[in-house]
Structure 1
């Protein structure tokens, strides 16, 4: 009977050795997904803030500054090159000051989020988009 117990302990150790890598991959995946979800939320909120500033104040430089402030917690920081502002339904590069009608502005942030561990690669591209009718 003593021999049977020692054999079972060896089998348990082997089973544990098979399961540990799977558990570690699962744990790392949960951490990476949670971080990506948090960054995506920050990008979406920053895009909404930036598009609101652009639609109401009609100043692309100000809208970019609002985005950078709203996404200040991100590392690496969001740059102006990652922020795209476009007027939809109009012919001008900015919102018309009067009679906007259906003209809207769209602000898109493209952000290369680095992985925390590097286990799944180096980075993933995330985007945040906001759309608002010109002049509110």
Structure 2
């Protein structure tokens, strides 16, 4: 009979230990999950900025039109929130002369979902030979 009494008590004490372990590890697991989400979002934003800069410089090198280049870059970066504004763009030259080199830099500030860290300044750069 003594064994029957000890077995439920041991099981209850194990349940309490599991609850304490979970209470200690849960915040770490939540922070790890949030960190993975933030890193994935930042990586996606960086890829979008790089692609947008490439698209913008491509249009600028072909058409020599900054307005069209900005529009193309904005259309390439639709996943960014907030969207790109004209103030985000910097062109290395006002116009693209044949054989010259043009670069488009897009600067963007990424706010975080959690607010734990950030905001993070990011940039995408595209370089291409004009009329090439």
Within a 5 Å distance, the mapping from 1:98-113 to structure 2 comes to 98=98, 100=99, 103-113=100-110
How far is the alpha carbon of 1:11 from its aligned partner?
1.3
Aligned position for 1:34 = 40
Aligned residue-pair number: 126
Instruction: Report the TM-score when normalising by structure 2.
Output: 0.87
Distance, in Å, in 1 between the alignment partners of 2:45 and 2:58 is 20
TM-superposed CA distance for 1:104, in Å, is 0.7
1:135 corresponds to: 131
Determine if the alignment matches structure 1 residue 63 to structure 2 residue 69. Answer: yes
Normalising by structure 1, report the TM-score: 0.85
Please state how far the C-alpha of 1:119 moved relative to its aligned partner: 2.6
- Partner Cα separation in structure 1 for residue 15 and residue 47 of structure 2: 47
1:126 to 2:116 alignment = no
Q: What are the residue-to-residue correspondences of 1:38-49 with 2, within 5 Å?
A: 38-49=44-55
Paired residue for 1:51? 57
Q: CA–CA distance in 2 between the matches of 1:21 and 1:78?
A: 35
Higher gyration radius (CA): 2
Provide, for residues 10-69 of structure 1, a one-character-per-residue CA deviation record: whole Å limited to 9, x for no partner: 111111100000000000011111111111111111111000011111111221111112
Q: Secondary structure, in 3 states, of the residue corresponding to 2:92?
A: strand
- Hey, what's the Cα distance between the residues in 2 that align with 1:47 and 1:67? 6
Structure having the higher helix fraction is 2
Is the partner of 2:110 in helix, strand or coil?
A: strand
How well do the aligned residues superpose, as a CA RMSD in angstroms? 1.4
